[in-house]
Chains A and B, each alone.
Chain A
Amino acid sequence: MVIFLLTSNPYTQAAQSALYKLRDHIATNTDDVQIFLYADAVQFAHRGVWLPADSANPIQDFQQFLVEHKLNAQVCVSAALARGVTDESNAKRHALTDGASRPLDTLHERCQLVGLGELAMLLHNADKVYQF
């Protein structure tokens, strides 16, 4: 199993390198790939990001990559909530609502909110770990 631990802000060179490496790895390997988003990289899981058409959109690129390859990303729940990334159940739990008092749901469908324990368990079974 290969783990990609993404921690960098999506708009940095490191995050861009992560996407290149992910694409390359998927294209040339058949092993199990696990993606974990932590710290500023949880913004990759936000489905409410818009940028002008003439700007690079690494978040959209990442989410398209997940969809194309039917991959999922695990996302640290506390890091996500600190940056406005939430699913409906966590929004209800923490009273995060929109202007009409509906619970927020900003999490991309290929991403799941989990605790850091999930990463710790993955690392026990990892053959290789890449961190960006």
Chain B
Amino acid sequence: MKIQIHIHADNDLLCHEALSLAFALASFDHEISICLGRYLCQRMNDGHDKFINMLKSLPLYDIHAVYEHSAALTADTLDKMNQLGISANTADLTDVDSVFYL
């Protein structure tokens, strides 16, 4: 199944669970893409090692990641996203079987 997961959670536990779901589904041959919301992007910029390491692992699972563009994101955050190879959201929701919002 082709699934896009939007991570709009506003706390660390829910963000971690959303990323864990992406990894678990990808491990079972689902085609997963994720869209990072503002909170998770900001936590990345804070230097949250666990999230950074999880996002660095995305290519190993063939998970494509983008971030939800927001005027609230600082230049530092955008720079961090670029370093991780994560670009602004241009995903086509019509091209997936299901969209999960977490």
Chain A residues with a Cβ under 8 A of chain B:
5, 7, 38-40, 76, 78-79, 82, 115-117, 119-121, 123-124, 126, 129, 131
- Is residue B27 contacting chain A, with contact meaning CB distance below 8 A? yes
Contact yes or no, A119 B17, CB < 8 A = no
Contact yes or no, A39 B102, CB < 8 A = yes
Contact yes or no, B1 A116, CB < 8 A = no
Contact yes or no, A120 B24, CB < 8 A = yes
Q: How many residues of B contact A (CB 8 A)?
A: 21
Contact yes or no, B100 A7, CB < 8 A = yes
Nearest Cβ distance between residue B95 and chain A, in whole angstroms? Answer: 16
C-alpha gap A124/B13 in the complex (Å): 26
B interface, over-half SS: mixed
Contact yes or no, A38 B17, CB < 8 A = yes
Residues of B near A39 (CB, < 8 A) are 9, 14, 17-18, 102
Name the residue on B nearest A128 (C-beta).
B98
- Is residue B84 contacting chain A, with contact meaning CB distance below 8 A? no
Most chain A CB neighbours (cut-off 10 Å) among B24, B30, B97, B99: B24
Q: Which of B8-34 contact A (CB under 8 A)?
A: 9, 13-14, 17-18, 20-21, 24-25, 27-30
Contact yes or no, B1 A126, CB < 8 A = yes
C-alpha gap A76/B14 in the complex (Å): 13
Residues of A near B97 (CB, < 8 A) are 129
The 5 A-B pairs of least Cβ separation, nearest first, read A120-B28, A116-B24, A129-B98, A39-B17, A120-B25
